[in-house]
Amino acid sequence: MQATKRVRSDAQQNRDDLLAAAVRAFAKDPHASLEGIARDAGVGIGTLYRHYPTREALVEAAYRTEIKKLCDLAPGLLRRHPPDVALERFLDRFVDHMESKRGMIEAIRAVIASAGTAESESLAMVTAAITPLVEAGKDQGLLRADVTVRDFVIAKGAVAMARPENARRLAHLLMDGLRAHPKSRRSR
C-alpha cells in the first residue's frame, strides 16, 4: 500500500514539475520543444507523453493551471476591495498574465483554433470566479444594474485581443462602461 502511495506522489510531482516547466517554456516560446520541457522538469520524454499524450494536452493543462491561479485571486480581491475595484483589479491581473505569458497565449490560441476545448474550460473557471464580484457590484449599486457576467467575459476577451500597448487603456475604458457611475480616474 505504501509503495502505491509513493508512486502516486512521485507521479503527481512529475505532473507538477512538467506543468511548471511547460508554463515557463510556453511563456517564452509558443513552439517550445517538448524534449526541452521534459528535460527542464527532470523527467524523460516518455513521462511527459504518459501524462500529456499530445502537445495540445500539455498546452491546455499549463494554461488552465495559470488561469486557475488567476481565478483563485478573485475572493481575496473581493474581501479587500469594493466589488467594482475588485473586478478592475482582476482584469489588471489578467492583463499582467497576458503580458508575462505572450507565448502561452499564442500557443493556447492555436489549440483553440484546432480543438476549441481549452477556451470553454478556462471561461467556465473565469465565469465562476467573477460571478460573485459582478453580483456584489450590482447589489451595491457600483456596477450597472444591467451588467451581466457575460458582459465582463466579452470585455475580457476584447482586452485579450488588444495589442499589448493598448490592453490596459482598453481595460480601464471597459471597466468604466460597466460601472453605474464611471470614475473619472482609475481606482488604485
- Predicted confidence at residue 188, as pLDDT, reads 44
| CB contact set of 113 (below 8 Å; sequence gap of 6+) | none
Query: Is residue 139 scored above 90 in pLDDT?
Result: yes
- Predicted confidence at residue 185, as pLDDT, reads 43
Q: What's the fold here for domain 1-53?
A: Arc Repressor Mutant, subunit A (1.10.10)
Quick one: average pLDDT of 139-150?
95
- pTM > 0.85: no
Q: Which has more pLDDT, 182 or 83?
A: 83
Confidence of residue 88 (pLDDT cuts 50, 70, 90): very high
Domain boundaries defined on the chain: 1-53, 55-182
- Render pLDDT for 8-35 as a digit per residue (tens, 0 to 9): 778 889 899 999 999 999 888 888 999 9
1-53 and 55-182 agree in CATH topology: no
| 117-122 LR contacts (CB < 8 Å, sep 24+) | 117/60, 118/59, 118/60, 118/63, 118/64, 121/60, 121/64, 122/63, 122/64, 122/67
Q: What's the fold here for domain 55-182?
A: Tetracycline Repressor; domain 2 (1.10.357)
8 Å CB contact between 61 and 108: no
8 Å CB contact between 65 and 23: yes
Instruction: Give the number of other Cβ atoms within 10 Å of residue 74's Cβ.
Output: 21
Query: Is residue 162 scored above 50 in pLDDT?
Result: yes
CA dist 58 and 63 (Å) reads 8
| Cross-strand partners of 143 | 179
Percent pLDDT > 90 in the chain is 53
- Render pLDDT for 35-59 as a digit per residue (tens, 0 to 9): 999 999 999 999 999 999 988 889 8
Query: Is residue 83 scored above 60 in pLDDT?
Result: yes
- Render pLDDT for 103-133 as a digit per residue (tens, 0 to 9): 777 777 766 666 655 557 788 899 999 999 9
Q: Which residues of 128-144 are buried (b: 16+ CB within 10 A; e: fewer)?
A: ebbeebbebbbeeebbb
Query: Is residue 6 scored above 60 in pLDDT?
Result: no
